[in-house]
A and B are shown apart, each in its own frame.
Chain A
Amino acid sequence: MRPVTPRGFRDVLPAEAAEREVLTLRLSDAFAAWGYERIETPVVERLDALEAAAGPLEGTAFRLVDLDGHLLALRPDLTVPIARLVSSRLADVAGPVRFRYAGEAFREHESLRGQARQFTQVGVELVGACGPEADAEVIAVLADALRTVGFERFTVAVGSVEVFNAVVAAAGMPESWGADVLAAAHERNFVELQRLADLPGVAETAARALREVPRIRGGREAIARCSDVASACGCDATLGALDETFALLEAAGVHESVMVDFSVMRSFDYYTGIVIEAYAPGLGLPIGGGGRYDGVLEAFGAPRPAAGFALGLERLSIGLLEQGVDVPVRRLDAVLGGPAAEALSAAARLREAGWRVAISSRAGRELVAEADERGAIEALFARDGRVVRLDRSGEPALPLEDPAPYPPSTSWAEGSER
């Protein structure tokens, strides 16, 4: 048979894998610079544990049954597993705790939608802290990370689910109406929201807020505009906190890429406060998102506030490609030929000096061709205790300095440290 991967799963070959490695490292460094510690959780979780926090996952999670008859699921994100971990093994730690992660997540998709079923999430969770300071920190880390990986232009949209909840509560309508409103907001169906707002019996203030709030977006001044139409619905405290968050973002110097948008909704309904989405110009899908999910740890019996975000590594790569940003991948320094014993000892000396060296059994022109093919900077040949560079025609040219110089892939001659 000719083997294939299951639909929506794929292999990652060296060129792409190298870029993904660099991106992951840079993001991890950016998160670590804020004091976030690396953490790992299993790829498989108990389905009931995930659903306790995230609601029904039918159609979203990959499910499996183990020999004990337990229903398991491949994690659809890393937020809930980390919340599970914090609420069990770290329940006694005072906190706040700051965790970062990079790992695969899995989601089911119908066929013929062109969607990947495995993707990589890189993100942070800040557990045990709340209020504008914590919200602003999470947003600032996100903006920092996007700048670090090379995005010159991006937008972080910040909204709050509390505003919508307040409007629904102030409408004086039955619960089913509220559920319809939230469903329409989730589906981003403005036409349906309009219809629900126009129904008889909806309090005038709530109807007006329902029509206008999802359309409000902009800088910090948008919060004031939202306050104008919605403060009668009793969400002043929420908007006040959001305004404070934005003041802190200004202090952190990241406000220019952040905007307020009250129509932002995320696909999981565990969010309780701010919701965040990040966009790269020209991409029709968000490159990341997150928000505050204070209810999740409560569902696990250890109530604590929490917020975080995840970036999709695959979408990040596409976004960078679209902006023409090269991900700087360190190349192979040299391919080294020569009698096996000589080549081995010469390569060992070079590696000690920091070189990346691949040994080859080829010589002359063929060795140069191999170096080209593998993207190596030098073609070297070891003989009689010396290492010489080969020229384009495969003839010995300049001998390599002894002791070995800095690896060419890291020297200033290559432009910058690579």
Chain B
Amino acid sequence: MIATSRGAADRRLRIAVPKGALLEGSVRLLEGAGLDTGALANPGRQLIITTDEVEYVIAKPTDVPIYVAYGGADCGVAGKDVLVEAALEVVELVDLHFGGCRFVVAGLEDAGDMDERYGHLGVLRVATKYPNIAQAHFDARGIQVELVKLNGNIELAPLIGIADVVVDITATGTTLKQNRLKIIEDVLPSTARFVGNPVAVRTDPRVTALADALSELSVES
């Protein structure tokens, strides 16, 4: 699939910005890089915000890699977690050093050791929103798992008995703790990244220039 863009060659630079937790940090950095962020901080129901230089596409965080990989957006901001899970061809240009969180394996506080349970049952039931990351993690550890993909409130899965452990992201661990879950092991750390479409990075100097500006900012912060 290729995004088609009607007269794309001379259009404004198109930046995919994730709504939700990464929005505020993204706006701050883009502003710091000298861009007019306009109504970006409070977009209301608008999905595309146009300024003199750029077009911001307000995206669901997990959709940013898709927009960028297929060229619907030239560049964007996405969490490392989302990038790993999507496994699409985007150029990871800058670690923006915000939106830090980590992927963890977590299980019920009172359920004993994960390895012990695995020894008895031979297979571990894992609930997650991130099946690719979870599978890769347990493959690397040589543990056989049955994955259940859920779409939200992953912490519920061990409580209602449909999984032994969960693989999920956590920033502070509060939600896990409130649901009587404890962290068993780390999977991978994640921060926000500035990513570019592979062709745009090579043919559009504006993407590289923005990457350089963001790179300096994120080092300072």
Let me know if A261 is at the binding interface, CB within 8 A: yes
Q: How large is the interface on B (under 10, 10 to 19, 20 to 34, 35 or more residues)?
A: 20 to 34
Instruction: Knowing A188-B92, A284-B71, A285-B199, say if A215 contacts B5 (CB, 8 Å).
Output: no
Residues in A whose Cβ lies below 8 Å from that of B3: 284
Let me know if A144 is at the binding interface, CB within 8 A: no
Let me know if B154 is at the binding interface, CB within 8 A: no
Instruction: Knowing A153-B9, A191-B193, say if A286 contacts B199 (CB, 8 Å).
Output: yes
Q: Taking the nearest CB of chain A, how far is it from the CB of B212, in angstroms?
A: 9
- 8 Å CB contacts to B: which residues of A173-214? 187-192, 194
Residues in A whose Cβ lies below 8 Å from that of B193: 191
How many Å lie between the Cα of A190 and that of B94 in the bound state?
7
| Residues in B lying within 8 Å of A, measured CB to CB | 1-9, 68-72, 74, 89-95, 193, 197-203, 208
Let me know if A272 is at the binding interface, CB within 8 A: no
Asked if B202 contacts A155 (CB within 8 A), the reply is: yes
- Looking at A275-283, A303-311, A338-346, A361-369, the stretch in contact with chain B turns out to be A275-283
Let me know if A114 is at the binding interface, CB within 8 A: yes
Asked if B4 contacts A318 (CB within 8 A), the reply is: yes
Let me know if A146 is at the binding interface, CB within 8 A: no
Asked if B4 contacts A155 (CB within 8 A), the reply is: no
The residue in A187, A188, A321 that gathers the most chain B C-beta atoms within 10 A of its C-beta is A188
Asked if A281 contacts B70 (CB within 8 A), the reply is: no
Contact among B2, B8, B95, B201 for A285, CB-based, below 8 A: B2
Q: Taking the nearest CB of chain A, how far is it from the CB of B68, in angstroms?
A: 8
User: 13 extra interchain contacts, Cβ-Cβ under 8 A, other than A191-B92, A315-B2?
Assistant: A115-B1, A155-B202, A157-B202, A187-B92, A188-B198, A189-B92, A282-B7, A282-B71, A284-B68, A284-B199, A285-B199, A286-B198, A322-B5
Q: How large is the interface on A (under 10, 10 to 19, 20 to 34, 35 or more residues)?
A: 20 to 34
Asked if B1 contacts A114 (CB within 8 A), the reply is: yes
- Residue on A nearest B193 in the bound complex, by CB: A191
Residues in A whose Cβ lies below 8 Å from that of B199: 279, 283-286
Give chain B's interface secondary structure class.
mixed
Contact among A263, A315, A322 for B8, CB-based, below 8 A: A322
Let me know if A122 is at the binding interface, CB within 8 A: no
Let me know if A84 is at the binding interface, CB within 8 A: no
Q: Taking the nearest CB of chain B, how far is it from the CB of A333, in angstroms?
A: 33
How many Å lie between the Cα of A318 and that of B68 in the bound state?
18
Let me know if A264 is at the binding interface, CB within 8 A: yes
Q: Taking the nearest CB of chain B, how far is it from the CB of A259, in angstroms?
A: 8
Let me know if A217 is at the binding interface, CB within 8 A: yes
The residue in A113, A115, A190 that gathers the most chain B C-beta atoms within 10 A of its C-beta is A190
How many Å lie between the Cα of A217 and that of B203 in the bound state?
9
Residues in A whose Cβ lies below 8 Å from that of B8: 281-283, 322
Instruction: Knowing A264-B202, A281-B203, say if A190 contacts B1 (CB, 8 Å).
Output: no
Residues in A whose Cβ lies below 8 Å from that of B5: 282, 322
How many Å lie between the Cα of A315 and that of B70 in the bound state?
12
Residues in A whose Cβ lies below 8 Å from that of B90: 188
How many Å lie between the Cα of A215 and that of B212 in the bound state?
10
Q: Taking the nearest CB of chain A, how far is it from the CB of B89, in angstroms?
A: 7
